[in-house]
Structure 1
């Protein structure tokens, strides 16, 4: 019919016989119809060198009569050439067996193979992951050689070969998937490399879904948290996604096996892999949250110090990784360097340090901490103390700039050391501010036993101080704000009806060796600004109802000296004079009762409770 266009739609590819596919998959490792033997041998080719031309062929000594020792066999597997030759071109190339070596003819595909006992460790068989390695296979069959770097790689090579039968990748985690991928790439198992990367993607997606569910659950319970019940304001805890579950996070597992990543220069899978890295980086940042969260959560802090350099760089270079101040980011990197310096090289350390926005550090850091690190770098190059590659001259420029007037800053900016320092050091853009306007509150507590132990032994005219514990912090009685270490303390004087609520500044535990000595020297008796914050101790009536709290608030106009306290006087009850039972124990009991009576207004459930709330810095150009 003229003028009539007919578009024929190609029929969908038939899925194939399910029965046939099932029977093929069931043949894996089975004697039925097996006509060859996969032999796993150690690859002695140095990493990075071109492989031996004979390595993939399974041939013995080379043709020029070399007596080179045959690579050691570390495992074997019954196989079916009529399956694998269509699954892998690399394996198929070895299946053109010399008829002379095969006795003039290829073995019949349906010949019966003598039964061979295979030992399998019961504990290994009961665990998930790649299949256990067969310890033996029938001799006398043509061999197909698969090279492995070590005996530990054999299970992953077996998993790659199994894919040729089943079309499935069975792995327990990201590392296993990448190990199978490496073996699949080596044997040219069609589709297996892509399936392994898809398995990694699935692990990341599952983790993302679980993280969203956890976040929703946490948000639902936040309104009824202990701080809300106590009448506090703001949010409690840290801003991270939790440290306990993060240790098994697929994103972190991906960064822990960087040696298994595709080659960025020449691997065609790199483009696909970059998408996986982008998702992993996103999850990594979401779980660690921000520098303030990391430094004030023992779980996140301990985990942060174990992450590889690639993961640390992912955090530092991300615009989504927040902080209260760049000083906290510098402290976080210092604490990581403290345990990872020896496992990094100069280039890796320069890359990490190059992501610090040094100009955004506090005046205190640029006046005392950075110069101390510069002196250590100058005095002891190549040591842990010298991890920050900055010279005293450049550190002096940052100090001058931080403490100068606006006209002076304009003049200094023209002579900035832009050719000597990383571009990020001079960045005018702060990181994302991690604190909401209401701030972030951390719970404080002091047990009745610690209270009595300190104040119960005071003699007339003596004053005692006791530190309150910060819930969940790496250092039990210290909180990090703006990269500095702060403690909340209570004080009492023997026989007095008033006590004290104090905020104390401690020399930061930054650097080690020479750098730590320089920090201590430069900060001794020096002033520092107090970050915007408030400290609250809860007061209670006899019926358990909350009454007036003891509160002290600070802002950046408050100045404190290192190793000194700043705070206010709080009222205590007039301590009755309880009768003292005879003996030393009786006197101790009397003193304990007197202390408890003095602090009865603040004691509840065997402890004194409160919060310290960190408020956002008052920076006009702070990132939202």
Structure 2
């Protein structure tokens, strides 16, 4: 049987030769026959000034004599020349091949002729794009070897050029960061070194895939996704590097996972700083994703305003238009549409797109259509859609909601020093003391939700046994751009725009080292909050009474905040602000829990009460009972009057009214019975404690 010749597998060539070429990179071993120089041309304006100064000096007799060469600015060379081999660079780079051919043509036509010698290397760096480069002519080294020139922008790009040439020798790229990989890709693209760009893209993809996007914010090492967006100016054209699109897709997912949602980005100090450092491409990637969560579109608008306040100078009108057209403006709440979108549209029309106050390119007409879009009929909405310039503005799908059913808790604190300073100033002036709580260890004085800022404020009148705690909404500072209608003194400044939120304020109390959470007040749709009106509880803090006479004065002298002892722990008063998605989530049961905890506290401390305090407590209970009875009588009188007015409405209405009275009277009876049982239990408990 004849043998069939086996087809030989193709190899990459002589492995030993490839290893020898790789080892010869950057070595002056006698085989090097050329040099590579990375340089930057002198600033044209500076060169012109030098020529003018030289001409002026020559006319005064201080310049070069006749026949001497004219002074000109020398190019700046980065680092030392790189020894190289023409037989490697000729086949690895089309750009180097062209320079080598030009050098050979000059050397062959003019015997002994050489280009100008290269200037001595000088350190330093400056900024520059390095994308559009000149086509330099080759020079000659002192020993006659050709010098291949590579124009770069700065020292970092020169190092990237060395990495690109290293790839020509070894087939490997070893950048130390994503930025250096993209700089190497750019230089390799200029030098037309095949395969180097793909290797840089592969390195970038591996870095993005390797690092977790949830890496702790504010750490020593910058996360890969932030490195990637931090050098967006170096991104290659997708047509040149098609695989770079995979990097873009992975980076967008990682960015959304890192910032999680609008509330996390606005309310976490470290994430907020990272947000402000993002380029426009990063904000665009966040806004166009459905999985970037929020509590409402109002907070998305505030997030963009916060970023724009810090980055407006680095954007142009086209970038601002792209970002604005990613907002789902029809989903703004009525307060946000009236208080935010309307004045911003006026700013845009009056100030123009080139003014910081006109950062949101939405006309007043479009703003008016969007504010009423959801309340219109389907046919009317269709007409509005035709009049709007982009589909995202009337997008019906809401973004992912970031608030869990249990809500998000933000811990607030008021330090002992803050409280003591405010109380001291109030005692001197006779005014009411006011202290704003801080969040995240003092990093922020407000929490952002529903598009607005929310502050927790403690207020106390000197001499009173109670202190109040308020939730105060405010317009975020990012909207107060100088010249805007929302800035101080603007036509919209100080107006009582209504706002809404689902929230609960809780105060932490301490007893024997144990913490007790006392809900103070809940907020929902029924609370009349506005940008000039805060709401809260007048008795959020019930201060401990101090003994009279010299003993009380001594206690105050020893500790001015002795009355606040049960709220102070480790040098601060603390609590939490819980924000929920549904404004009616809590249903107003905070007061009931507070009453139950107060009763537990009274029972736990009744053994220490004096007989006079017990008698006073019993008198207080009897007074409360009398007040309840009087309120019941007044309410029943009002109900009898309403019955007389409704007699003419028919027998059915009368029967329903009588049935309702029967049910309510029965409930009152049960309530009275439970109250009597509770009072009896309290009396028995007090008797046992006395025994």
Instruction: Give TM-score, length-normalised by structure 2.
Output: 0.68
**Which one of the candidate residues 224, 231, 237 is aligned to 1:257?**
231
> Within the alignment, does 1:378 sit opposite 2:349 as a pair?
yes
Cα distance in 1 between the residues matched to 2:289 and 2:90: 46
Once the two structures are superposed, the pairs formed by residues 291-310 of structure 1 within 5 Å of their partners are 291-310=262-281
Residue 501 of structure 1: CA displacement? Answer: 2.1
SS at match of 1:601: coil
> Within the alignment, does 1:322 sit opposite 2:293 as a pair?
yes
Cα distance in 2 between the residues matched to 1:400 and 1:138: 75
Cα distance in 2 between the residues matched to 1:45 and 1:273: 34
Deviation string, structure 1 residues 398-429 (Cα, Å, up to 9, x no partner): 33446xxx5x4556424425433321111111
Cα distance in 2 between the residues matched to 1:515 and 1:580: 58
Residue 597 of structure 1: CA displacement? Answer: 2.5
Once the two structures are superposed, the pairs formed by residues 430-449 of structure 1 within 5 Å of their partners are 430-449=398-417
| 1:551 paired residue number | 520
Cα distance in 2 between the residues matched to 1:532 and 1:321: 21
> Within the alignment, does 1:173 sit opposite 2:177 as a pair?
yes
> Within the alignment, does 1:536 sit opposite 2:506 as a pair?
yes
> Within the alignment, does 1:161 sit opposite 2:127 as a pair?
no
Deviation string, structure 1 residues 491-541 (Cα, Å, up to 9, x no partner): 223322222221111233214123244796436352524311111111111
What RMSD, in angstroms, separates the aligned Cα atoms of the two structures? 3.9
> Within the alignment, does 1:37 sit opposite 2:35 as a pair?
yes
Cα distance in 1 between the residues matched to 2:447 and 2:76: 57
Deviation string, structure 1 residues 159-214 (Cα, Å, up to 9, x no partner): 21122222222222112111111211222223222211122122212323xx46x5
Residue 253 of structure 1: CA displacement? Answer: 2.5
Cα distance in 1 between the residues matched to 2:523 and 2:558: 33
Determine if contact 1:532/1:617 at 8 Å carries over to the other structure. Answer: yes
> Within the alignment, does 1:82 sit opposite 2:87 as a pair?
yes
Deviation string, structure 1 residues 521-575 (Cα, Å, up to 9, x no partner): 436352524311111111111x112235243222233221222221122241333
Please identify the structure whose Cα radius of gyration is greater: 2
More deviation, 82-91/554-563:
82-91
Structure 1 residues 13 and 43 mapped into 2: Cα distance closer, same or farther (>3 Å)?
farther
Determine if contact 1:456/1:588 at 8 Å carries over to the other structure. Answer: no
> Within the alignment, does 1:482 sit opposite 2:450 as a pair?
yes
Once the two structures are superposed, the pairs formed by residues 592-611 of structure 1 within 5 Å of their partners are 593-594=559-560, 596-611=561-576
Determine if contact 2:495/2:532 at 8 Å carries over to the other structure. Answer: yes
Structure 1 residues 364 and 10 mapped into 2: Cα distance closer, same or farther (>3 Å)?
farther
Once the two structures are superposed, the pairs formed by residues 302-381 of structure 1 within 5 Å of their partners are 302-381=273-352
Cα distance in 2 between the residues matched to 1:573 and 1:151: 66
**Relative contact order, CA 8 A, sep 6+: which one is greater?**
1
Structure 1 residues 558 and 18 mapped into 2: Cα distance closer, same or farther (>3 Å)?
farther
Cα distance in 2 between the residues matched to 1:592 and 1:357: 58
Unaligned runs of 5+ in 1: 47-66, 107-115, 123-135, 215-241
**Which one of the candidate residues 391, 403, 412 is aligned to 2:363?**
391
Cα distance in 2 between the residues matched to 1:40 and 1:545: 68
Cα distance in 2 between the residues matched to 1:591 and 1:278: 65
Cα distance in 2 between the residues matched to 1:166 and 1:244: 37
Residue 356 of structure 1: CA displacement? Answer: 0.6
> Within the alignment, does 1:194 sit opposite 2:163 as a pair?
no
Once the two structures are superposed, the pairs formed by residues 390-429 of structure 1 within 5 Å of their partners are 390-401=362-373, 406=375, 408-410=376-378, 412-416=380-384, 418-429=386-397
Determine if contact 2:77/2:123 at 8 Å carries over to the other structure. Answer: no
Determine if contact 1:285/1:321 at 8 Å carries over to the other structure. Answer: yes
Cα distance in 1 between the residues matched to 2:574 and 2:13: 66
> Within the alignment, does 1:515 sit opposite 2:480 as a pair?
no
Determine if contact 1:438/1:615 at 8 Å carries over to the other structure. Answer: yes
Question: What is the aligned length?
Answer: 532
Residue 368 of structure 1: CA displacement? Answer: 1.7
Instruction: Give TM-score, length-normalised by structure 1.
Output: 0.75
